[in-house]
């Protein structure tokens, strides 16, 4: 115990030295720089989107990181933005212009059957208030969106689940996963979508190791 207290005492004296003080200050500044860089990157990306897209991105990020802020992203105006009143947050977008399934799929531009399943699952969850669904629901929405018919919808849904875009739900139903949700939000930017999916998978694997 005496040695431990002595170590802390030495550390306290070292912190007061210019060299060590500079070290700790540098670490704090590095963290602040990373935060500023992240904020600037987010602002640049959001500036390229229209208002409904910004709201969808903001809502999904809040859900993914479990922020629970209870606020929506303020609309972009020439005047200074003001925060929206605090309300219980719910992940749906009924206050936005409601995109049709055809418009949504056209906007997202999925390239594979698995990606299309993820986009359809996202649409059911956030535009139809149907967080749990069956393969038949996805297939019907695919037809409504005027997309190419799945050669085997059950196989595509199973692959989407194995790939981490969908997850099992109650009573044999499926739901979109957190990783799949982030992937769809990032589309049609495929590089950003790939990074979002990779980050979500790493977070999931890290939780499993604990």
Confidence (pLDDT) at 184 = 96
Q: Confirm whether pTM is higher than 0.75.
A: no
Q: Measuring CA to CA, how many Å separate 66 from each of 42, 100, 113, 148, 179? A: 18, 28, 29, 35, 14
- Smallest CA-to-CA distance from 102 within 63, 141, 44 is with 141
Tokens of 195: 């990074």
Reduce the DSSP state of residue 67 to 3 states and report it: coil
Q: Which residue has the tokens 């947050």?
A: 89
Find all residues with CB under 8 Å of 60, minimum gap 6, and list them: 91, 181, 182, 185
Q: Reply yes or no: is the peptide bond before residue 139 cis, omega within 30 of 0.
A: no
Using CA of residue 183, residue 95, residue 104, residue 140, what is the dihedral sign? positive
Reduce the DSSP state of residue 167 to 3 states and report it: strand
Successive 10-residue mean pLDDT values, the chain, 210 residues: 46 50 53 66 69 70 57 47 39 57 96 97 97 98 97 97 96 95 95 89 72
Using CA of residue 121, residue 122, residue 124, residue 125, what is the dihedral sign? positive
Residue 168 DSSP label: E
Confidence (pLDDT) at 85 = 41
- Smallest CA-to-CA distance from 187 within 133, 116, 135 is with 116
Tally Cβ neighbours within 10 Å of residue 165. Answer: 25
Confidence (pLDDT) at 91 = 41
């Amino acid at each position: 115990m005496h040695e431990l207290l002595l170590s802390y005492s030495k550390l306290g004296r070292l912190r007061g030295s210019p060299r060590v003080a500079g070290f700790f200050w540098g670490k704090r500044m590095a963290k602040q720089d990373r935060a500023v860089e992240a904020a600037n990157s987010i602002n640049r990306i959001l500036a390229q989107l229209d208002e409904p897209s910004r709201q969808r991105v903001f809502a999904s990020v809040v859900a993914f990181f479990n922020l629970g802020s209870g606020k929506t992203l303020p609309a972009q105006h020439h005047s200074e933005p003001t925060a929206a009143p605090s309300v219980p947050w719910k992940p749906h977008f009924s206050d936005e212009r409601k995109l049709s399934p055809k418009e949504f799929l056209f906007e997202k531009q999925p390239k594979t059957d698995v990606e299309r399943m993820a986009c359809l699952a996202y649409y059911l969850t956030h535009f139809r208030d149907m967080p749990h669904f069956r393969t038949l629901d996805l297939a019907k929405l695919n037809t409504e969106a005027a997309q190419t018919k799945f050669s085997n919808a059950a196989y595509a849904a199973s692959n989407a689940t194995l790939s981490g875009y969908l997850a099992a739900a109650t009573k044999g139903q499926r739901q979109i996963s957190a990783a799949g949700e982030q992937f769809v939000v990032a589309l049609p930017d495929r590089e950003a979508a790939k990074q979002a999916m990779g980050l979500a998978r790493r977070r999931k694997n890290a939780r499993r190791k604990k």
